[in-house]
Amino acid sequence: MSLPVTPSQTIGPFYGEALPVPGGGEPAPAGHPDTVTLHGRVYDGGGTPVPDALLEFWQAAPDGSLAGAPGSLARDGVTFTGFARVPTGRDGRYVLRTLPPGGAPFLSLCVFAPGLSRHLFTRVYFALPEDDPLLPALPAGRRATLLATEDPGTHRGYRFDVHLSGERETVFLEFPCAGRTEESRPSGS
């Protein structure tokens, strides 16, 4: 049995009272010494910062576990849940304070924004893994869009920008085992 799936619809401009939560961008337990700070901006194809995007991150715990834990919407300051949700600010900027993922060295990132008919998946790599099935298949220039760069002069600070389109367009991903249907793809440019 394969049921017809419910199609995506744009998140629209008015999700702000519903989805963002206090501490949503801070999955790292307060004061944890291994905390990394990832920050950057979301840009549209014209290079204008996107002030109304919502970013969701999902990742392995430092020990490589992908079990996750409840509490992402009401953090207790101790539990690492593996999930984060952070809106961009007026200048398109976001900040995530998290722990480094164990196992594969990347965060999974899902990008929502008004004017996007469907959310976009990408990854934030902190390092180039040796046996990654995705990265080697990409041209070097495109691969670079998935790499966070170390922030000189900061303690465990990294920068990662998202370009929704344009010359520096970020590599966005799909998961074919997901059996994605035609109507749920992003509608062209």
Partner 1 sequence: MASEPLQEQLSRPIPDFTDPPAAAPANGAPAYDLAPYRGLPLRQPARPPVPVLGPGAVELTGPVFGPADVGPLDSDLTRQHRGEPLGERITVSGRVLDRHGRPVRGQLVEVWQANAAGRYTHRADRHAAPLDPNFTGTGRCLTDGEGRYHFTTVRPGAYPWNHHRNAWRPPHLHFSLFGTAFAQRLVTQMYFPGDPLVPYDALWRAIGDPVARARVIAAYDPARNVPEWSLGYRWDIVLDGPAATPAEGGR
Q: What is d(CA 155, CA 120) in angstroms, rounded to the nearest whole number? A: 30
Per-residue b or e along 11-23, where b marks 16 or more CB atoms closer than 10 Å to that residue's CB: beeebeeeeeeeb
Query: In 17-125, which ranges are E strands?
Result: 36-43, 54-58, 83-87, 93-98, 106-112, 120-125
Sole binder of partner 1 in the list 70, 128, 149, 150 (CB under 8 A): 70
Verify binding: residue 154, partner 1, rule CB under 8 A: no
Q: How many amino acids of this chain bind partner 1 (CB under 8 A)?
A: 84
Q: How many amino acids of this chain bind Fe ion (CB under 5 A)?
A: 1
Q: Which does 179 bind (CB under 5 to 8 A by kind): Fe ion, partner 1, none?
A: partner 1
Nearer to Fe ion, 12 or 136 (CB): 12
Verify binding: residue 133, partner 1, rule CB under 8 A: yes
Cα distances from 135 to residues 117, 124, 130, in angstroms, run: 26, 11, 9
Locate 73 and state its tokens: 């919407």
Sole binder of partner 1 in the list 39, 40, 44, 148 (CB under 8 A): 44
DSSP helix/strand/coil, 90: coil
**Binding to Fe ion, residues 7-36 (CB under 5 A):** 12
Verify binding: residue 88, partner 1, rule CB under 8 A: no
Q: Which does 89 bind (CB under 5 to 8 A by kind): partner 1, Fe ion, none?
A: none
